[in-house]
Amino acid sequence: MNVIKRSGKEVNFNDIKIMQAIQKANESVDDRDERLSQSKVKKIVDNVVAKCNFLGRAVSVEEIQDFVEEEIMREGAYKVAKSYITYRYRHELIRKSNTTDDHILTLIEGENEEVKQENSNKNPTVNSVQRDYMAGEVSKDITKRFLLPEDVIKAHEEGLIHFHDSDYYAQHMHNCDLVNLEDMLQNGTVISGTMIEKPHSFSTACNIATQIIAQVASSQYGGQSISLAHLAPFVDISRQKIKKEVAEEYKELGVDVDEAKANEIVERRLRKEIVKGIQTIQYQVVTLMTTNGQAPFITEFLYLNEAKNDRERDDLAMIIEETLIQRTKGIRNEQGVWITPAFPKIIYVLEEDNVKEGSKYFYLTELAAKCTAKRMVPDYISEKVMKNLKEGNCFPTMGCRSILSVWKDENGNPKFYGRFNQGVVTINLVDVACSAHDMDEFWQILDERLELCHKALRCRHERLRGTPSDVAPILWQHGALARLKTGEKIDKLLYGGYSTISLGYAGLWETVYKLNGKKLTEPEGEELGLKIMQYMNDKCDKWKKAENIGYSTYGTPLESTTYKFSKALQKRFGIIPGVTDKNYITNSYHIHVTEDIDAFSKLSQEAKFQSLSTGGAISYVEVPNMQNNIPAVISVMQYIYDNIMYAELNTKSDYCQVCGYTGEIQIVTDKNNKLVWECPNCKNRDQKKMNVARRTCGYIGTQFWNQGRTQEIKERKLHL
């Protein structure tokens, strides 16, 4: 068993230190009759050790101290307990005088376990990531001491809510967005003070797109999405350019032009350029380093019906085809082995022209299925279901799942690209349920916590209000999101629903189970779950109407927060079977990972909740290796098309650098009761010598996870 110190450093558990702390408190009591006997001190230590072992994970210093207090009080040694508590309080005041130094120092030395496991796509050992984390620690400190109200900070620290991305809050930055790539490519843009004109070829357009992606990623902290349809017009520009070149070659050779042969040459050369362009995007995206120390969190949207005409649709089909081919192949790691990259994330839209066997573009769907089976992407949006839910529109999510509401310009035309999300605050629903003694009290506490989230969300909004466009020219002045003037404030983009702001929620499964002992898969559980979802939607609608700000409910992609919330719940309420007995809580409305349910039933069940998660959500099914069963993958995709707006298939894609094993790297428990990754072939446990890719929050992670998320991954049941 290990202990996580306040600095974030993880060390071996040492019960002697507990013994010494109790003895110091014991000796400080003047009246010997009020002191604990040595046998009672040992009993307290043994009980504390047992409680720590029962948690089945690394424990924090604060948790150990809480257990010590409880055990001293249980023995009736109140003066000893008072001495112990006073000691804790005095040292807490000393620590509060400087809240960042220890975290930064352990971070620089690579000893901060919390930071190591915070983001599964950041490598905290490299300087660029450390620099970002150092800045983040300062931002969190400033945010905590100056920028946020005390009640919001207190609720965040206690795990009642989660104020996302506080490490960026000190700056005037927003969350995620849909980049208006079409405007930037067609009308030109400016990157780092350099004018970039409309490209004259497809390959150049792809190269410029990657530069835009990197610049945008360095100017905000969330995910971004681009549509490959915005690149499609440049295919024909290249085609016409190549035609002219071929005609000139015929002329130079003094040979009569054979139109059929010339067209064949043109299309062959065009294909090579498309291969080159897509390769540029794939490799530059995974090799570019943004200012936050990681590759850009980018999503590519593959939607045939976004093309403006038949010619453009066929050209877009070629782009999609090559994208899927290259992504299926993967990228080479340091050993030259083809592995699964985390980005770009890909969303493939299922539509009438590609979803059914015999349809014109069904070959693309077959490629998508093969890519999913091997590389875990694409994810799938059903055009049919999305149009039913979004007023006849189909458009991409911003990053992994944040989704816009429909907004129309002065002419009544819907607009999606160039819009963004202001930020997220998540409510821990499980804590609300555990705090309530009956349903009436549940709704009362829920109301109070939602208003606290509302207050925190208004803080996010006010932090952005008054921001001049100069803070991120690529976003606000040069077309990624807007074409504002120098010095102009972004305020008009924060109102009227043009941008969204998200009320996140977590742990609906455990919440319902705590309240009525039913699962979301049971009629009574489903009814209550939907009622809670509707209540949150009604709150967002009320706030939106009163303030003209685009509030929406959002299925939070808990990463490290799932562990944070579970630890907070265990501290406040102990171990409640089926509610707080895991080191994680479920994402949003998801059916619990340990539940036995087939893929189609799960998707059908979760579709009811997804439709109420208006600010974004994604469902998934966990599947085994499907590379030899592509028809089954396609059957799931076709079911998605008919039943749910947005879903994905989770499979495994691992590689052991020690022995070359390419199956599933497994999760086992080591001698310290810690979950670790192990190659089943050679028993390698060195994370630096293995490549593991897993979906955890709607996107693929490749840098490993904290103990809570690792337990969740280990316990996942297959749905197919």
- Number of domains forming the structure of the chain: 2
Residues 341-356 have pLDDT tens digits of 888 999 999 999 999 9
Residue 93 pLDDT greater than 60, yes or no: no
Among 107, 130, 147, identify where a domain stops: 147
Counting residues of the chain whose pLDDT is more than 90, the rounded percentage is 68
Specify whether 7 is located in the same domain as 93.
yes
Residue 589 pLDDT greater than 90, yes or no: yes
Specify whether 76 is located in the same domain as 14.
yes
Residues 187-226 have pLDDT tens digits of 999 998 999 999 999 999 999 999 999 999 989 998 999 9
Catalytic residue among 559, 606, 622, 712: 559
Crossing angle of the two packed helices 362-375 and 630-643, in degrees rounded to 10: 110
- For residue 75 the two structure tokens come to 């023995």
CB distance 122 to 293 below 8 Å: yes
628 labelled catalytic: no
| Alpha carbon distance 603, 323 (integer Å) | 27
Per-residue pLDDT at 695: 81
Residue 290 pLDDT greater than 80, yes or no: no
487 labelled catalytic: no
Specify whether 88 is located in the same domain as 21.
yes
Specify whether 12 is located in the same domain as 92.
yes
| Alpha carbon distance 17, 80 (integer Å) | 17
Binning pLDDT at 50, 70 and 90, where does residue 129 land?
Answer: low
Catalytic residue among 52, 386, 400, 459: 400
Catalytic residue among 7, 83, 120, 175: 175
Specify whether 53 is located in the same domain as 74.
yes
Per-residue pLDDT at 523: 97
Q: What is the mean pLDDT of residues 123-152?
A: 77
Q: Is residue 650 part of a domain?
A: no
Between residues 119 and 223, the one the model is more confident about: 223
Catalytic residue among 10, 52, 173, 176: 176
Residue 512 pLDDT greater than 80, yes or no: yes
Specify whether 73 is located in the same domain as 109.
no
The residues with which 678 forms a beta bridge, in sequence order, are 666
Q: Is residue 38 part of a domain?
A: yes
Binning pLDDT at 50, 70 and 90, where does residue 700 land?
Answer: confident
Counting residues of the chain whose pLDDT is more than 70, the rounded percentage is 92
Per-residue pLDDT at 102: 62
Specify whether 42 is located in the same domain as 110.
no
| Alpha carbon distance 538, 51 (integer Å) | 41
Catalytic residue among 136, 159, 479, 698: 698
Residue 123 pLDDT greater than 80, yes or no: no
Domain span including residue 133: 98-147
Specify whether 83 is located in the same domain as 130.
no
Residue 125 pLDDT greater than 70, yes or no: no
Per-residue pLDDT at 368: 98
Relative to beta strand 59-60, strand 161-163 is: unpaired
Per-residue pLDDT at 462: 97
8 labelled catalytic: no
Specify whether 17 is located in the same domain as 56.
yes
Among 85, 117, 147, identify where a domain stops: 147
Q: Is residue 37 part of a domain?
A: yes
Please classify residue 481 by burial: count the beta carbons closer than 10 Å to its beta carbon, then call 0-12 exposed, 13-18 middle and 19+ buried: buried
- Supply the pTM of this predicted model: 0.86
Residue 573 pLDDT greater than 80, yes or no: yes
Specify whether 25 is located in the same domain as 87.
yes
Catalytic residue among 203, 292, 421, 684: 421
Q: What is the mean pLDDT of residues 694-704?
A: 74
Q: State the DSSP code for 143.
A: I
Instruction: Centre a 10 Å sphere on the Cβ of residue 403 and count the other Cβ atoms it contains.
Output: 29
Between residues 490 and 61, the one the model is more confident about: 490
Catalytic residue among 554, 641, 655, 699: 554
Q: What is the mean pLDDT of residues 155-177?
A: 93
Q: Helix, strand or coil for residue 244?
A: helix
Catalytic residue among 173, 184, 206, 398: 398
Q: What is the mean pLDDT of residues 523-541?
A: 98
Q: What is the mean pLDDT of residues 681-687?
A: 95
Residues 6+ apart with CB under 8 A from 239: 266, 267, 270
Residues 6+ apart with CB under 8 A from 514: 430, 433, 434, 576, 578, 579
Per-residue pLDDT at 118: 55
Binning pLDDT at 50, 70 and 90, where does residue 146 land?
Answer: confident
Specify whether 92 is located in the same domain as 138.
no
Q: Is residue 611 part of a domain?
A: no
Residues 348-382 have pLDDT tens digits of 999 999 999 999 999 999 999 999 999 999 999 99
Catalytic residue among 26, 120, 227, 402: 402
Q: Is residue 34 part of a domain?
A: yes
Per-residue pLDDT at 55: 81
Q: Is residue 579 part of a domain?
A: no
Residue 119 pLDDT greater than 60, yes or no: no
Strand locations in 533-618 (E)? 550-555
400 labelled catalytic: yes
Q: Helix, strand or coil for residue 656?
A: strand
402 labelled catalytic: yes
Binning pLDDT at 50, 70 and 90, where does residue 315 land?
Answer: very high
391 labelled catalytic: no
Q: Helix, strand or coil for residue 12?
A: strand
Per-residue pLDDT at 697: 64
Per-residue pLDDT at 242: 97
Q: Is residue 123 part of a domain?
A: yes
Per-residue pLDDT at 140: 82
Specify whether 93 is located in the same domain as 80.
yes
Q: Which helix (H) or strand (E) holds 45?
A: helix 38-55
698 labelled catalytic: yes
176 labelled catalytic: yes
263 labelled catalytic: no
| Alpha carbon distance 533, 555 (integer Å) | 10
Mean pLDDT (the chain) is 91
Q: Is residue 30 part of a domain?
A: yes
| Alpha carbon distance 711, 584 (integer Å) | 8
Per-residue pLDDT at 32: 85
